[in-house]
Structure 1
Amino acid sequence: MNTQTSPSPQFYLTAPAPCPYLAGEMERKVFTHLVGQRATEMNDLLTQGGFRRSQNIAYRPACESCRACVSVRILVNEFKPSRAFRRVEASNLDVIATIFPAQPSTEQFSLFRTYLDDRHPQGGMSDMSALDYAIMIEDSHVQTRVIEYRLRSPGDGLSAHPKGELIAVALTDLMSDGLSMVYSFFNPTMDKRSLGTMMVLDHISRARTLGLPHVYLGYWVQGSHKMGYKTRFQPQEHLLNQGWTRFNPEAEE
């Protein structure tokens, strides 16, 4: 398949495959390659248009009979943490977050495998090797970073490389209008910390500090338990036929 850069991106359509979110449905995706000098610009435009990035591929659902996958982005400047979110923040005051270039490590991969084996043992990523993980992190032509979350240990805060236990990791794209959470994982035994929620809250704070108006969370599928958490971060917008539209959670109840 030709992956050379061209003035306009080349789009391709995948063959039908079983949907990982809705039983009995088949999914197809339209995708293009994010390579060359315009990769960052194209990633911005495509993400704003409902695409997601995986390595050097941008894709979005193109299912013939289903429109359940909806792109979600948080409105950073209007977000105010609820009491429940403040409790999550309070439970993780001993966590230190550090941003690095997109480089994998053995420690990250070990946590990644623990997370997959516990939360997604039958998922499409369940058989990923250390090499597969390295490619997922490194194979990017856009502005990508890894954020490591560690339990604070003596001396952390003074060193550029904290030494405390690694409990969560986020792979994040830096965009012109926000942060896009490409993939994240965490220690599944630390349920009381709500580490997934903690990482989203941290991204909201980072985006606000950077003066960026959005945090992109990927796709939400109504009725999918694994995606239900995404609508808790209000206010937010969903990408519908008429464009980005403010989501009313009460209308979904």
Structure 2
Amino acid sequence: MRHTLPIAPQFYVTAPQPCPYLEGRTERKLFTALQGETAASLNDSLSAQGFRRSQNVLYRPSCADCSACLSARINVADFTPSKSQKRTLKKNADLTRRATSPWATEDQYDLFRRYLDSRHADGGMADMDVFEFAAMVEETPIRSRVIEYTDKTTNTLTGVCLTDVLSDGVSMVYSFYTPDQPQNSLGNYIILDHIDIARAADLPYVYLGYWVPGSPKMGYKAKFSGLEVYMGGAWHKMKDPADFNPDRHPLNTDPIAEQVANIALPDLSSKRR
């Protein structure tokens, strides 16, 4: 007998864990599997509702008394580089970009390890081995690319970004770069280059992941003009970052059943015929 997956995605909630962004808080995620021939449609739809992809899972924060994490994207049409961002582009003019299939290499992993050891030695990915790294890059059920940045002078791999191609933009799933050039602001440069990638492909948005007011780790995202954040079921233009309050409140987050009920799903039935 042939068994098929249920048409409607099933949503689950993770157990509470320490929050990696705001000290003294716990995080919880709402997630669903991303698989099969409907994966691209589901990813497009849920990404536009604040979800992010990690391998074959889509997730969104669902903390019991905190709603600080806001999905962020850049509206390419509204973006204008600042003076410092123009300097960042000039500093990295010797980098060349190459887009490849989602395939992990030893050079990528070596750079990834150097990046983690320098920037996130105590983070959740600190113990990731080469096989887990390969899974992160290669286990994707949708259209993904690895964007590599190489120094033309030394021919060395300098930066990498795992990037998903959505119907309305590009989503920066995870990026890493050499920690030896802090003066070049490579993280910001990779975002700036993805704005160019989206513009050249006539895609309106660059999805950045989550911006967390009150978290120094996330402050750089608020410096990009054209930034939008997803809150209250809609995207809003970022005005003043100080307007966003990360304080706890027991009514900040809707019950799980209400969250799931308010998720707009694509018509997946036609994809299974």
Shorter-normalised TM range: over 0.9
Describe the superposition over 1:70-118 as per-residue Cα deviations: whole angstroms up to 9, x where unpaired: 0111010121111111100000110001000000000000000000000
- Mapped to 2, the partners of 1:62 and 1:185 lie a distance apart of 26
Gaps of 5+ in 1: 154-162
C-alpha displacement of 1:5: 3.2
For residue 47 of structure 1, what is the amino acid of its counterpart? S
- The yes-or-no answer on 1:244 pairing with 2:235 is yes
For residue 240 of structure 1, what is the amino acid of its counterpart? M
Relative distance call for 1:250 and 1:169 in structure 2 (3 A) is closer
Relative distance call for 1:89 and 1:10 in structure 2 (3 A) is same
Gaps of 5+ in 2: 245-273
For residue 129 of structure 1, what is the amino acid of its counterpart? D
Q: Which residue of 2 aligns with 1:124?
A: 124
Q: Which residue of 1 aligns with 2:174?
A: 183
C-alpha displacement of 1:252: 3.6
Q: Which residue of 1 aligns with 2:265?
A: none
Q: Which residue of 1 aligns with 2:258?
A: none
Higher RCO (C-alpha 8 Å, min separation 6)? 2
Residue-pair matches, total: 241
Of 211, 216, 221 in structure 2, the residue corresponding to residue 220 of structure 1 is: 211
DSSP-derived class of the 1:43 partner: helix
- Mapped to 2, the partners of 1:9 and 1:230 lie a distance apart of 31
- The yes-or-no answer on 1:198 pairing with 2:182 is no
- Mapped to 1, the partners of 2:145 and 2:183 lie a distance apart of 27
Aligned partners of 1:167 and 1:187 also within 8 Å: yes
DSSP-derived class of the 1:36 partner: coil
Aligned partners of 1:55 and 1:136 also within 8 Å: yes
For residue 28 of structure 1, what is the amino acid of its counterpart? R
Q: Which runs of 4+ in 1 moved over 3 A?
A: 250-253
* Range with bigger deviation, 4-13 or 102-111: 4-13
Aligned partners of 1:237 and 1:245 also within 8 Å: yes
Q: Which residue of 2 aligns with 1:147?
A: 147
Aligned partners of 1:11 and 1:32 also within 8 Å: yes
C-alpha displacement of 1:6: 2.2
What TM-score, normalized to structure 2? 0.86
Aligned partners of 1:169 and 1:186 also within 8 Å: yes
Q: Which residue of 1 aligns with 2:256?
A: none
C-alpha displacement of 1:251: 5.0
